[in-house]
Amino acid sequence: MAPETPSDTGVRQDFIREIITADTASGHHAGRVATRFPPEPNGYLHIGHAKSICLNFGIARDFGGTCNLRFDDTNPVTEDTEYVESIQADVRWLGFSWDDRIYYASDYFDQLYACAETLVARGLAYVDSQDADAIRANRGTLKEPGIDSPYRTRSVEENLDLFRRMRAGDFADGAHVLRAKIDMRSPNINLRDPILYRIRRAHHHRTGDAWCIYPMYDYAHPLSDAIERITHSICTLEFEDHRPLYDWLVANAGLPGRPRQVEFARLNLNYTITSKRRLLQLVTDGHVSGWDDPRMPTISGMRRRGFTPEAIRRFADEIGVAKRENIVDVGLLEFFVREDLNRRAPRAMAVLRPLRVVIENFPEGAVEHVTLANHPDDESMGTRTMPFSRVLYIERDDFLEDPPKKFFRLAPGREVRLRGAYFITCREVIKDTDGAIVELRCAYDPATRGGDAPDGRKVKGTLHWVSAAHAVTAEVRLYDRLFNVENPGAGDEDFTTQINPASLEVVPDAKLEPSLAEAAVGTRFQFERLGYFAIDADSTTSRVVINRTVTLKDTWAKTERRG
């Protein structure tokens, strides 16, 4: 692994690293460590995949080993090159490199086929001509053993001939399958003569129409690991019962590699779905704008929303790996995003719902430039200037005509600070004929330039503001959770009925300080008092579009304290 590969938290310990440490110490694989990240290119990567990426590439980094990127593209029907490309972009963005080790299971189709012939020749696989229903019915149940297929005793010669003709296209889809000959009475259903190959006339996104038989995942995966000389094949818990089959195939298919499968608990996040099938449905049914909708738990969605790769890696590291299923609070992910952005995002001013403020004693047409720090704790981020003029905008809810006791912002007769500029006092409230407030008439104190009074006078409120004539108008998109319930789709619920109708709020005419006019897509800011924001890819030269990444409020730490 290249030295620039990020290591944010140093070398950690977990049960998988312990297994690998023990294996290398006892000389397994001559101390070599080789992992892989094996996505099926049938969707975009999500936060669960990010955990797997951080784990596999992280282990390679920590042990001086390698991690391959392998596309598990054995199912021609659901896979697509769009996904292949997005997956590469996402792994790279997360900060990991596969160097030149990018592989496709479909590149192994010849080798996998040869392994199948080896199994047939060894009497360990046979062509079954029962139909799918009979195969299913004869498989038995958890309590009942399976029943041998009438074709199970075919000779090696007959099996070889039939299997070659399956490949040659002599038979219709579904006419035959190739099955491993293991044990129809095994208590582990995965060992009851699992199907290895089926006939399927489908176009593959890489191999085209070269094949009309395709290997099953349970067959292709262990053998792809063996072909690549993977040492530790890390996967999620649902494959634990498949491990005996994994080991059987690795031992019998005639390949030299001896990978070891290790399972860990998949990442589950509350208020979030991490099923590719369901994420695809959100996209195709138009519940979101696409795979990269900022409300999606996809890596591309999180990137567009303004999450940083550092925050996601930190999250993956901190939650660690477990052997038992658990549910992680999505607030914890947001906590790491906030923590990272607090460090790296420059501050800026934006007013989401503008209220006009006229400074009556500031000369008409005059402009002053006040200087503000880009970061309160990091001088290296420098300063910028902001124009101050007679007409400003402040946030509508920073003014109340009849304020309750604990309201310290602007009110009639009240003095507050405009951050980095001056103290102002509200003199008059202007309303339209319906009684709605349209403008405040205020006075500023020229002696308070920079935001402090030389006479030591204090104010309780500090407001953000922008100069009306200089402001950049922007569309700001505010996000809430995509789902209203902690565990969407649990039980028999249709998860699409649990979508939060208020998950996207569009603020059409926010006002930004002018320095943001030139900000590139993806640039992140903290807007004072409003949260962290990122410039969206929908921005054009004439219109700025901004996503709120997270609010400033740390709901996770709060619930922790309460708990």
Which residues are annotated as catalytic? 40, 266, 276
Nearest to 479 by CA among 519, 532, 517, 525: 532
Least distance between ligand ATP and beta carbon 47 (Å): 7
Which listed residue (49, 154, 314, 390) binds ligand ATP by CB under 6 A?
A: 49
Distance CA 441, CA 355 (A): 11
Give the integer Cα–Cα distance in Å for 443 and 425: 5
- Compare residues 297 and 306 and give the one whose CB is closer to ligand ATP: 297
Say how many residues touch ligand ATP, by CB under 6 A: 14
- How would you classify the pairing of strands 34-37 and 66-71? parallel
What are 161's two structure tokens?
């001939």
**What type of residue sits at position 354?**
P
| Least distance from ligand ATP to the Cβ atom of residue 261, Å | 11
How many CA atoms lie within 13 Å of 436's alpha carbon, on the beta-carbon side? 5
Binding-residue pattern over the window 3 to 42 for ligand ATP, x denoting contact by CB under 6 A: -----------------------------------xxx-x
User: Is residue 52 part of the contact set for ligand ATP (CB under 6 A)?
Assistant: yes
Which position among 48, 306, 331, 354 is part of the footprint of ligand ATP (CB under 6 A)?
A: 48
H or E element: which one contains 348?
Answer: strand 347-348
* C-beta closer to ligand ATP: residue 5 or 236: 236
CA 268 to chain centre: 12
Scan residues 295-354 and list those touching ligand ATP (CB under 6 A): none
CB atoms within 10 A of CB 277: 10
When the beta carbons of 51 and 305 are compared against ligand ATP, the nearer one is 51
CB of 42 to ligand ATP, least distance (A): 6
Provide the 8-state DSSP code for 418.
E
| Residue nearest to ligand ATP according to CB distances in the complex | 48
How many helices and strands (H and E) does the chain possess?
13, 27
Q: Where do we find the tokens 């019998």?
A: 252
Angle at 293 between CA 287 and CA 297, to 5 degrees: 95
Virtual CA dihedral for 54, 57, 61, 65, nearest 10 degrees?
A: 150
Q: Which of 17, 51, 192, 414 binds ligand ATP (CB under 6 A)?
A: 51
Task: Please state the φ and ψ torsions of residue 306, each to the nearest 5 degrees.
Answer: 115, 0
Cα separation, 314 vs 7, whole angstroms: 9
C-alpha 200/C-alpha 188 separation (Å) is 27
Site for ligand ATP, residues 222 to 241, rule: CB under 6 A: 235-236
Distance in Å, CB of 479 to ligand ATP, minimum: 21
Which residues does residue 506 pair with via DSSP β-bridges, in sequence order?
A: 477
Least distance from ligand ATP to the Cβ atom of residue 312, Å:
13
Closest to ligand ATP by CB, 88 or 274: 274
Say how far apart CA 515 and CA 348 lie, in whole Å: 8
Tell the smallest beta-carbon distance from residue 351 to ligand ATP (Å): 39
In whole angstroms, how large is the CA radius of gyration of the chain?
Answer: 31
Of residues 410-439, those binding ligand ATP (CB under 6 A):
none
Residue with tokens 């001939």: 161
- Phi-psi map region of 184: left, alpha, beta (phi>0 left; psi -120 to 50 alpha): alpha
In the complex, minimum distance from the CB of residue 327 to ligand ATP, in angstroms, rounded to a whole number? 11
In 3D, which of 344, 313, 298, 230 has the Cα closest to residue 5? Answer: 313
Q: How far is it, in rounded angstroms, from Cα 415 to Cα 448? A: 12
Between residues 111 and 236, which has the closer beta carbon with respect to ligand ATP?
Answer: 236
Q: Which is nearer to ligand ATP, 79 or 128 (CB)?
A: 79
Identity of the residue, 313 or 548, whose beta carbon is nearer to ligand ATP in the bound complex: 313
282 membership: H or E segment, kind and range: helix 276-284
Closest to ligand ATP by CB, 216 vs 359, is 216
**Minimum separation from the CB atom of position 247 to ligand ATP (A):** 18
Of residues 166 and 226, the one with the C-beta less far from ligand ATP: 226
Six-digit token string for 471: 């402001």
Within positions 343 to 362, which residues make up the interface with ligand ATP, using CB under 6 A?
none
Q: d(Cα 266, Cα 322) in Å, to the nearest integer? A: 8
Looking at beta carbons only, is 14 or 445 nearer to ligand ATP?
14
CB of 69 to ligand ATP, least distance (A): 11
Query: Which of 49-57, 193-201, 345-353, 358-366 is the region at the interface with ligand ATP (rule: CB under 6 A)?
Result: 49-57
* C-alpha torsion angle, residues 186, 190, 191, 192 (rounded to 10): 70
Min dist CB 367 to ligand ATP, Å, is 54
Residues from 254 through 293 that contact ligand ATP (CB under 6 A): 266-267, 274, 276
Q: Which stretch binds ligand ATP (CB under 6 A): 26-34, 46-54, 464-472, 522-530?
A: 46-54
Q: Are 451 and 459 in contact (CB under 8 A)?
A: no
| Residue range at the interface with ligand ATP (CB under 6 A); choices 48-56, 128-136, 385-393, 457-465 | 48-56
The H or E element spanning position 557 is helix 555-562
Q: Rule CB under 6 A: which of 515-534 touch ligand ATP?
A: none
Binding site for ligand ATP (CB under 6 A): 38-40, 42, 48-49, 51-52, 235-236, 266-267, 274, 276
